[in-house]
Structure 1
Amino acid sequence: MLEIELKVRVDALDPLRKNLLARHAEFTGKQHEHDIYYNAPHRDFGTTDEALRVRYTDGPALVTYKGKKIPELNLKAREELNTCVESGEVFETILNRLGFTKTAEVNKWRENYRLGNASFALDTVEGLGTFAEIEIMAENNGEAATAEIMKLAKELGIGGEPILASYLELLLSTR
């Protein structure tokens, strides 16, 4: 699957929350996400523009691989593969034994909404501030998803310069 995403820094989440609810977006929950990122022993993900993450929430741990960004779509677009694991701690031990190294941790508090085929996230990221994301998962037509995201952003008043960096990259750039 191809993840197409618009991420922008916002001053406040409340106006966006009100706009989403006024459009009858479905609130799908709020959660704390604790993400631990790893680097491979055989290649540097910072250089190859990949990411490997173990995400802890209230449920099972989620392991995510993110491929290299696809710049042609003018938004953040990349392959994303996810799988749940029974124990994130055991999976992290496996990674450590295989020579993977912990790169960084990202903590965020996320409100999730759904409107049609689009997902909306209102994020407060520790050490970075507040952000809004609109995401559509596409099989192969990234251009159509990009156009839909930009239309939704305009309708909801989500403006600002698109941020192509991940929260990990933004956090690492502050160090």
Structure 2
Amino acid sequence: MLEVELKVRVPGLDPVRERLLALSAEFCGKAHEHDIYYNAPHRDFGKTDEAVRVRYTNDHAVVTYKGPKIRKFGLKAREELNFSVESGETFEKMLDRLGFTKTLEVNKWRENYRLGRASIALDQVEELGTFAEIEIITEDDRENPTPVIEKIAKDIGADGTPILESYLELVLIQRNGDR
């Protein structure tokens, strides 16, 4: 499965939300997401451009592996594998016992919308500000969803410069003063 995504910084969420609703996008809920990222003992995910994350949303925990970014279709694309765990805390202990180390925690407040095949997230990210993400997941890596994603971005007023970095990378950049 390939996740193709456009992420842009937006000055505020209200105008984007209004345009989404005017397009009859389906509101799918909102939640606080607390993400804990880990690095592996056998390779440096910062160098391999991979990520392992435990995400807590309400009383639910999901583990995610993200493969290296692929510069495909002019947007960010990467393999993403997800599975739910009964206890995120127990899974974190297991990672610790296996030698994984905590890299960073990211907090965001996310509103989720659906418009056709696209998932749209409006994010308020601690330390970073407000963003819109538009993504389409495709099973066929030859399918190019970029035109659909770019049209939605334009229609909702989120057609700024694409950000290829993850929130993890953006927080690290912010803290290190690299930008």
Task: Tell me which interval the TM-score lies in, with the shorter structure as reference length.
Answer: over 0.9
What is the RMSD computed on CA atoms of the aligned residues? 1.0
Deviations 1:45-103 (A, max 9, x none): 00000000000011420000000000132211000000000000000000000000000
Deviations 1:26-48 (A, max 9, x none): 00001000000000000000000
CA contact (8 A) 1:110 1:122 kept: yes
Shift of residue 143 of structure 1?
4.9
Give, as a single letter, the amino acid of the residue that structure 1 aligns with 2:123: D
CA distance in 1, matches of 2:71, 2:5: 12
Give, as a single letter, the amino acid of the residue that structure 2 aligns with 1:20: L
**Equivalent residue runs for 1:1-175 within 5 Å:** 1-141=1-141, 143-175=143-175
Answer with 148-157 or 104-113: which moved more.
148-157
Kindly report structure 1 stretches of 4+ aligned residues shifted beyond 4 Å.
none
Shift of residue 109 of structure 1?
0.1
Q: State how many pairs are aligned.
A: 175
CA distance in 1, matches of 2:143, 2:71: 12
CA distance in 2, matches of 1:87, 1:130: 30
CA contact (8 A) 2:150 2:159 kept: no
Structure 1 residue runs without a partner (length 5+): none
Q: Percent identity?
A: 70
Q: Does the residue aligned with 1:53 lie in a helix, a strand or coil?
A: strand
Q: Does the residue aligned with 1:174 lie in a helix, a strand or coil?
A: helix
CA distance in 2, matches of 1:130, 1:142: 31
With normalisation by structure 1, the TM-score equals: 0.97
Q: Does the residue aligned with 1:41 lie in a helix, a strand or coil?
A: coil
With normalisation by structure 2, the TM-score equals: 0.95
CA distance in 2, matches of 1:141, 1:155: 25
Shift of residue 174 of structure 1?
1.4
Change (3 A) 1:73 1:26: same
Give, as a single letter, the amino acid of the residue that structure 2 aligns with 1:160: G
Give, as a single letter, the amino acid of the residue that structure 1 aligns with 2:65: Y
Q: Does the residue aligned with 2:145 lie in a helix, a strand or coil?
A: helix
Shift of residue 144 of structure 1?
2.3
